């Protein structure tokens, strides 16, 4: 097997989170009348999507280091954090759809505008904080995984740290 041929996508820890983020981004982009409220959400989703994509596209020198990295990501809680982020995005997407169920297409009803802009402002802030926390964890894990694999690759042998 040639070096750098196995991607982290084989780990399977980012699929759910990335698909949940995509669905939520589609929902928020459809709320053109609430862009002032959902703009921060969109920015946060873009910020978490970058390190998740980097983690998914990360390449491992061989199957042994890929397996070892997967175990390390599970032990350190990164896989759990990524899954929780995906679940938070899926749950928030459901809430946002519920809060805007009285609207047609991109036109928000007054009731839905109040629901998104006022009544659920605290829930939106809480969601933003959850995504920012997840982004920090994932960014740290990408950097740690890179160092881990480099250490394995440059040492000439593979061992678990």
Beta strands in the chain (DSSP E): 6-7, 59-60
Under a CB-based contact definition with an 8 Å cutoff, are residues 60 and 66 in contact? yes
Sign of CA pseudo-dihedral 70, 74, 79, 83? positive
- Answer yes or no: is 149 within a domain: yes
Does 9 or 23 have the greater pLDDT score?
23
Q: Would you state the pLDDT for residue 33?
A: 65
Q: Would you state the pLDDT for residue 7?
A: 57
- Answer yes or no: is 67 within a domain: yes
Q: Would you state the pLDDT for residue 119?
A: 75
- Answer yes or no: is 160 within a domain: no
For residue 4, name the pLDDT band (cuts at 50, 70, 90): very low
pLDDT cut 90: percent of the chain above it: 7
Number of domains in the chain: 1
pLDDT tens readout for residues 107-138: 776 777 767 766 777 888 888 888 888 888 87
The reply to whether the predicted model has a pTM over 0.85 is: no
Q: Which of 7, 13, 9 is nearest to 62 (CA)?
A: 7
- Answer yes or no: is 161 within a domain: no
Q: What backbone torsions phi and psi does residue 90 show, to the nearest 5 degrees?
A: -65, -45
**What gap in Å lies between CA 134 and CA 137, rounded to an integer?**
5
Q: Would you state the pLDDT for residue 158?
A: 46
For residue 11, name the pLDDT band (cuts at 50, 70, 90): low
**What gap in Å lies between CA 112 and CA 52, rounded to an integer?**
32
Q: Would you state the pLDDT for residue 62?
A: 67
- Answer yes or no: is 138 within a domain: yes
- Answer yes or no: is 1 within a domain: no
pLDDT tens readout for residues 67-108: 777 777 777 777 788 888 889 999 989 988 888 787 776 677
Q: Which of 55, 49, 43 is nearest to 20 (CA)?
A: 49
Among the ranges given (4-18, 50-64, 91-105), the one the predictor scored with the smallest mean pLDDT:
4-18
What phi-psi label fits residue 2: left (phi over 0), alpha (psi between -120 and 50 degrees) or beta?
beta
- Answer yes or no: is 122 within a domain: yes
Residue 115 structural domain: 6-155
């Amino acid at each position: 097997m040639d070096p750098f041929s196995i991607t982290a996508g084989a780990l399977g820890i980012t699929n759910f989170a990335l698909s949940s983020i995509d669905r939520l981004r589609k929902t928020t982009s459809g709320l053109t009348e609430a862009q002032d409220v959902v703009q921060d959400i969109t920015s946060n989703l873009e910020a978490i999507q970058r390190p998740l994509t980097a983690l998914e596209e990360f390449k491992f020198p061989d199957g042994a280091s890929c397996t070892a990295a997967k175990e390390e990501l599970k032990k350190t809680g990164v896989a759990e954090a990524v899954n929780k982020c995906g679940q938070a995005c899926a749950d928030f997407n459901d809430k946002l759809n519920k809060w805007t169920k009285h609207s047609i297409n991109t036109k928000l009803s007054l009731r839905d505008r109040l629901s998104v802009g006022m009544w659920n402002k605290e829930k939106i802030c809480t969601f933003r904080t959850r995504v920012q926390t997840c982004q920090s964890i994932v960014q740290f894990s990408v950097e740690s995984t890179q160092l881990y694999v480099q250490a394995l690759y440059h040492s000439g042998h593979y061992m678990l740290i």
